[in-house]
Amino acid sequence: MRSLFLLLFVLVSYGYADAQNFVSTTAENKNVVLEEFTGIYCGFCPAGHKIASDYKAANPNDVVVINIHNGSYANPSGGDPDFRTSFGAAIDGQANVQGYPAGTVNRRNFPGYEQTDAQGNPVSGITAMSRGSWVGRGNVVLAETSPVNVAAQATIDLQTRELEVIVETYFTAAAGTAPYKLNVALLQNGIEGPQSGSSGNPSSVLPNGNYLHGHMLRHFLTGQWGADITSTTSGYFQADTFRYTIPAGIANGSAPAIAAELTNMEVAVYVAEGQQTIITGNMASMSLLTPPGTFTASTKLTSASTVSSGYCDYSYIPSVVVENNSTSATAIDSFMVSYTLNGGTAVDQLVTTTLSSGATTTVTFPSTTLAGGANNIEYTINFDTYNNGTLIDVSPNADINIAEGPYFRLSPTSTATPVAEGFESAPLITGTGYSRTVTTGIFAAPTSVGNNMFSILNGPSYNYGAIGGFAASNRSIRFRFADLDGNEELDFILNKADLQSNSQLTFSRAHRQYSAAYSDQLDVQVSTNCGATWTTVWSKSGSDLATLGVSTTSYVPGAATDWVSDTVDLSAYNNTNDVVIRFHGISGWSNNLFIDDINLTSSTITGIENTKVAAAAVNIMPNPVRNEMTVEFNLPESSEVNMTIYNALGQQVQNVTNGTFEGTNTVQVNTSELASGVYLLNLASDKGLVTKRFTVKK
């Protein structure tokens, strides 16, 4: 037997077709290898992902999809993951990608289907195509006869993490004389991370708003451009074995490694003519090896929780579906499921239901209460899973925990005015410049919108400097409209407030349009039933919303002159409790909008005529101010006036003047003792109250 084995080995090495094992020796049509160039900040890339995955699903044995992260949209920002590899740039360059997403079908040029340049002209001769051309050109390839077949079998040892790939190629007809290369690509599915525009592929969006990336290139076992195929004559057979120890994490340069979960790995193989044209490809079959003497059971969790979308609905019923998705016959008859709310104490439930392979059960916990702000829930199934009292070694990469949320809720208790929010003390997520909640309110956006699309931006963290209102502070809200889909809606919602008399809202804004053809919109809306219905009390869009001229670069405010102040009359809601105010942004795919210095005020002045001095009749010069400012105001008739200054926390810091005034008046105010920041000047007369915002900048 030993001599026979050695003889067979020699025959395989020299390419005798009779020794082939699993590759077909019958002439077949070509398979498609679709390389998709993508990135986490690419707004239309998820739409490309869906086209590619749908095409593969419609042709399960004939289409190979490889997602390659490269280009500016793939560059990580802050603490975002880096999905790029050392291989992607060269393949991207070979395709001559003009914009993202892009794709190549078998790395071939299809005249008339090339991507266009910045002027909208097709770039002749390149292989990169826009997503609308992938399926049609792929169908052309599928109809062509291939001179070579390729097949592969892959095995991963779960204990040693070694991947072994056996590849067989067989030429059913003579091929060209150019060097032919065999390529073996390691791909990974189920990688959780951020993704702009993920509403274009909603099935990949998780409950927590993150995105599940699939078919992501992780490594080439054959190097950048493949391993040699010795001959291309008709009847030639070649068998190759490749081994690679998959690390716990795969990193690009010095970036943090991306966890390499073994059960989410897949292997693609293809034959190329040199470095360019791919003849055909295939997906390898995959087997997982477990340590001797152990069972393997793979479990999966899916949320089944009951939760309302209302901002004041605080009831939550935790529930989760547990599935034994093991491909073996191993049953599970007891396990522990737990959940935590906002990182608190775990709530456990022991389950003794027997789950055979493919069976599911729903585990429901007692109702609990959500808190104001962002609520995050995490479910976990305990590793100590048993079958007839025997501990089962659960696959180390099984889907044994899931995150749910965040669910945003307003504070259950209304606040009294004044309410001031300058975002300078807002908590920021470690490693980034972004936040999703503040003490005065919440951010709310579709799950397709990542944190970096709509949140608080800290200027110095990104070398922007003072990007707060009138360049007097470091932080403000950013509505990242340029990178969102059109009509994407974003909300910043103030907590419930009890209003008295003379109610008004002031805020600062800075915005530029990308061009006159793109129009973003901002509405200020009010609700008295906790968001069930809204009334718009202020609205601007397009050039009316913009504070500067158009700019085709991503806008970030850099000077005090970028900003304007807005005042919204809320007297219709005087003496009303539980008033909710939101800043409602609607993307027109234009440019960034910044909001800062939000102040909600009202007073308890009684026994006066309910008429305010017109806000336009009170002017502060200059603004921003350093050590002294001039306040100019006009009163049509003699009135007692009390002029005071409040800080952003609503605390009185200076009493300016008391007296009787009439007609046009100017008052010089010494502000040398005031620190840099945002302040409110209150001018109260027997005709009402006027509040004007100003900034001190030392």
- Distance, CA of 562 to CA of 558 (rounded, Å): 7
- Distance, CA of 54 to CA of 63 (rounded, Å): 10
Neighbours of 504 (CB within 10 A): 21
Neighbours of 658 (CB within 10 A): 11
- Distance, CA of 74 to CA of 82 (rounded, Å): 7
For residue 366, what are the CA distances in angstroms to 300, 310, 375, 381, 473? 22, 20, 17, 17, 45
* Residue 1 three-state SS: coil
Pick the residue with more confidence: 149 or 473? 149
Tens-digit pLDDT profile for residues 194-240 = 998 887 888 888 767 789 999 999 999 999 999 999 999 999 999 99
Instruction: Read off the tokens for 60.
Output: 């399960």
The closest of 576, 572, 647 to 612, measured between CA atoms, is 572
Greatest distance between any 2 Cα atoms in the chain = 117
Tens-digit pLDDT profile for residues 143-179 = 999 999 999 999 998 788 999 999 999 999 999 887 9
Angle 594-600-601 from CA coordinates, rounded to 5°: 150
- Distance, CA of 91 to CA of 275 (rounded, Å): 9
Query: CATH classification of 20-289, choosing from 2.60.40.10, 2.60.120.200, 2.102.10.10, 3.40.50.2000?
Result: 2.60.40.10
- Distance, CA of 19 to CA of 314 (rounded, Å): 67
Percent share of the chain, pLDDT over 70: 88
Q: Are 185 and 268 in contact (CB under 8 A)?
A: yes
Q: Which residues is 524 bridged to in the sheet?
A: 538, 583
Q: Give, for 483, the enclosing helix (H) or strand (E).
A: none
For residue 404, what are the CA distances in angstroms to 196, 351, 372, 378? 19, 21, 16, 6
- Distance, CA of 248 to CA of 245 (rounded, Å): 9
- In sign, the C-alpha dihedral spanning 93, 97, 101, 106 is negative
Greatest mean pLDDT range, 455-459, 539-543, 610-614: 539-543
Q: Is the pLDDT of residue 6 over 60?
A: no
Neighbours of 194 (CB within 10 A): 21
- Distance, CA of 501 to CA of 610 (rounded, Å): 8
* Residue 676 three-state SS: coil
Backbone φ and ψ for 459, nearest 5 degrees, come out as: -55, -55
Identify the burial level of 497 via C-beta atoms within 10 angstroms of its C-beta, where 0-12 means exposed, 13-18 middle and 19 or more buried: buried
pTM of the model: 0.57
Q: What is the DSSP letter of 160?
A: T
For residue 101, whether the previous peptide bond is cis, meaning omega lies within 30 degrees of 0, is: yes
Q: Which residue has the tokens 């802050």?
A: 78
Q: Is the pLDDT of residue 12 over 70?
A: no
Per CATH, the number for 296-407 is 2.60.40.10
Query: Could you tell me which residues come within 8 angstroms of residue 1 by beta carbon, excluding any fewer than 6 positions away?
Result: none
Ramachandran bin of 573, using left for φ above 0, alpha for ψ from -120 to 50, beta for the remaining angles: alpha
For residue 523, what are the CA distances in angstroms to 165, 227, 323, 409? 58, 59, 45, 21
Instruction: Read off the tokens for 164.
Output: 């072994």
Domain ranges of the chain: 20-289, 296-407, 415-603, 615-696
Q: Residue 607's pLDDT is what? A: 34
Q: What share of the chain is helix, strand, coil (3-state, %, to 5)?
A: 10, 45, 45
Tens-digit pLDDT profile for residues 561-574 = 999 989 899 989 99
Q: Is the pLDDT of residue 48 over 90?
A: yes
Q: Is the pLDDT of residue 20 over 70?
A: no
Instruction: Read off the tokens for 432.
Output: 């980034």
The closest of 565, 562, 486 to 520, measured between CA atoms, is 486
- Distance, CA of 2 to CA of 296 (rounded, Å): 34
Helix 45-58 with 134-142: angle, nearest 10 deg: 30
Q: Specify the length of the chain in residues.
A: 698
The closest of 633, 670, 636, 638 to 653, measured between CA atoms, is 670
- Distance, CA of 401 to CA of 303 (rounded, Å): 10
Tens-digit pLDDT profile for residues 574-594 = 999 999 999 999 999 899 999
Tens-digit pLDDT profile for residues 602-628 = 875 433 333 344 444 688 888 888 889
CATH superfamily name and code, 615-696:
Macroglobulin (MG2) domain (2.60.40.1930)
Q: Residue 297's pLDDT is what? A: 59
What is the pLDDT confidence band of residue 290, given thresholds at 50, 70 and 90? Answer: low
- Distance, CA of 180 to CA of 109 (rounded, Å): 18
Q: Residue 609's pLDDT is what? A: 36
Q: Residue 482's pLDDT is what? A: 81
Q: Is the pLDDT of residue 651 over 90?
A: no
What is the pLDDT confidence band of residue 543, given thresholds at 50, 70 and 90? Answer: very high
Q: Is the pLDDT of residue 645 over 80?
A: yes
Radius of gyration of the chain (CA): 32
Pick the residue with more confidence: 436 or 631? 631
Find the mean pLDDT for residues 105-117: 95
Q: Is the pLDDT of residue 439 over 60?
A: yes
* Residue 573 three-state SS: helix
Q: What is the DSSP letter of 115?
A: P
- Distance, CA of 516 to CA of 485 (rounded, Å): 17
Q: Residue 24's pLDDT is what? A: 95
Q: Is the pLDDT of residue 479 over 50?
A: yes
Q: Are 365 and 348 in contact (CB under 8 A)?
A: no
Pick the residue with more confidence: 14 or 320? 320
Q: Residue 207's pLDDT is what? A: 67
Torsion, Cα of 175, 180, 186, 187 (10° steps) = -50
Find the mean pLDDT for residues 386-402: 54
Q: Does 2.60.120.200 match the CATH number of domain 415-603?
A: yes
The closest of 428, 413, 584 to 493, measured between CA atoms, is 584
What mean pLDDT is reported for the chain?
86
Q: Is the pLDDT of residue 100 over 90?
A: yes
Q: Residue 234's pLDDT is what? A: 95
Q: Are 380 and 327 in contact (CB under 8 A)?
A: no
Instruction: Read off the tokens for 10.
Output: 């020699």
